[in-house]
Amino acid sequence: MLILERQEKIIEYLKAHKSEKTAALARAMYVSEATVRRDIAEMEKLGLVRRSHGGVVLFENSNDEPSIAIRMNEMEAEKQKIARLALPLLKPFRTLFLDSSSTVSVLAKHFHEQHKTVISTGIQAVTFLSGKENVDVFLPGGFLHYNSNSVEGAMTVRQLENYNFDATVCSCGGVTEDGVTEATMNQCIIKNTVMPHAGTNILLADHTKIGNVCAFKICRLADFDVIVTDEAPSAAFADFCRANDIALVY
């Protein structure tokens, strides 16, 4: 079993049990206690769990969304393809908002456009962009959420309200014809704030998110002008996009 796969199984186990002794967790994962201890140490660094009295406890916020360190390694080929498709679409725009998602962070890593001004709430995206020539990067202040590695909260929202964007580039937790949804309320609020201030809104979503529904609704699907995905969606989804003048790129 791959390390990331095992760590995801540990998270699922702890969501059901809340806490567990190292020995019992090793038996449940069919690995040695030494292996589980190494996993737990790494997961604690990522802000997913904490060690306690010979065992491990799930952090309260771990069920909000997986750590970006894990998400950056999930669906990697799909995210790379989406980034390649999305980058040429950004050429006409000078001022961009990039969200804190792992998909958008992959795009930021490969950013090589002409002079741009980029505002982002994602620490990972900002880190990738900081070394790029001809890119002016703005990181709003606010509460630093360790799991998503992003800034959020009332202070962040107030600052974002003062910007106007040529385009926003966001991802999501799920997208259907009924709307675009997110796993956490704070990420939903960020996107609700920036999208009305943009001329064009671009959604990056791999095929596993199309048809998925999360707890918090960001907006109508038609509020996005462009959707970039990694493979052809269903005929019904494509027909909905066509009927609502949403450009579908894959």
From first to last of the 250 residues of the chain, give the pLDDT tens digit.
Answer: 567 778 878 888 888 887 899 999 999 999 999 999 998 988 776 667 788 777 898 865 444 555 565 666 678 899 999 999 999 999 999 999 999 999 999 999 999 867 899 999 999 999 999 988 889 999 999 999 877 889 998 899 999 999 999 999 999 999 999 999 998 888 999 999 999 999 999 999 999 999 999 888 999 999 999 999 999 999 999 999 999 999 999 9
What is the C-alpha to C-alpha distance for residues 160 and 164, in angstroms, rounded to an integer? 9
What is the C-alpha to C-alpha distance for residues 20 and 9, in angstroms, rounded to an integer? 13
Residue 201's CATH number = 3.40.50.1360
Where is the domain boundary, 27, 47, 63? 63
Are residue 43 and residue 87 in the same domain, yes or no?
Answer: no
Where is the domain boundary, 42, 63, 84? 63
Are residue 129 and residue 102 in the same domain, yes or no?
Answer: yes
Are residue 134 and residue 206 in the same domain, yes or no?
Answer: yes
DSSP bridge pairs for 203: 170, 227
Are residue 100 and residue 54 in the same domain, yes or no?
Answer: no
**CB-based contacts of 162: which residues, under 8 Å, 6+ apart?**
none
* Number of independent structural domains in the chain: 2
Q: Helices (DSSP H) in 117-184: which residue ranges?
A: 123-129, 154-160
What angle is formed at CA 23 by the lines to CA 19 and CA 29, rounded to 5 degrees?
A: 80
Are residue 138 and residue 240 in the same domain, yes or no?
Answer: yes
Residue 199 is part of which domain span? 70-249
Where is the domain boundary, 63, 89, 104? 63
- Whole-prediction pTM: 0.74
Are residue 99 and residue 161 in the same domain, yes or no?
Answer: yes
Are residue 93 and residue 146 in the same domain, yes or no?
Answer: yes
